[in-house]
Homo-oligomer: A and B are copies of this chain.
């Protein structure tokens, strides 16, 4: 995680400084939008309340997410501006390890931003980036918000959507897709409609899903076990309790 910034991993504020650095680079590259910066701030506040760590129930969710991606017929990792800015190389690695497609999917869709994000993912090693065809539609959403690739999210049975808008998360769920959502607010609509809500910072979540995928790869029984033992409701309750009871300092 340290290839692009001159910062020792032992630095006490390593993660937050790395995040800041990557978000700034994302703005410079036309990847992170104004709304993305505000969303980043909301995430920071929830992460602060969570204690800026991966709680046990989030680790369980990340293991279940890895299992879903591995056992899917067709898994897609959806990538928006903040996800691309924060974890570009980590998303490429996750897609490689799980065999998932990467698809750029923006709430405020412009061709320029989609191209900029696809370029950024390619610079970080992606060979095939979907999201540019936009020949499929998610039912129940207005025009621009509904666009997906027909052979990407349109055809997927499992979709990982980091930092997704509530309306779209709900519409994807109604299409019958298994939805893996990364969101720091345990009571957001996106988290509540998810098959697997992952209440964690994407900076920690994506590498940890990849690590679990490496561990679960080639072991269908262990994958099934990770899926069966994960309980979304209790994970959400646990995250909310942690936010409530954590030390604010």
Contacts and interface: CB of A to CB of B under 8 A. Distances in A.
Interface stretch (A40-48, A113-121, A226-234): A40-48
A74 B49 CA distance: 38
A30 to B, nearest CB: 13
A40 to B, nearest CB: 5
Contacts of A40: 38, 41
A11 interface: no
8 contacts: A27-B34, A37-B41, A41-B43, A41-B44, A42-B45, A45-B45, A45-B46, A187-B248
A245 to B, nearest CB: 8
Contacts of A46: 45
A131 interface: no
Contacts of A248: 185-187, 240
Given A49-B49, A244-B244, 17 more contacts: A23-B38, A24-B34, A34-B37, A37-B37, A37-B38, A37-B41, A38-B41, A38-B44, A39-B41, A41-B41, A41-B42, A41-B45, A42-B42, A43-B45, A45-B45, A185-B248, A244-B245
Nearest to A40: B38
A187 to B, nearest CB: 4
A-B complex: 10 closest residue pairs judged by Cβ atoms: A41-B41, A45-B45, A37-B37, A187-B248, A38-B41, A41-B42, A42-B45, A244-B244, A37-B38, A38-B40
A249 interface: yes
A42 B44 CA distance: 6
Contacts of A245: 244
Interface in A20-71: 23-24, 27, 34, 37-46, 49
A20 to B, nearest CB: 8
Contacts of A27: 34
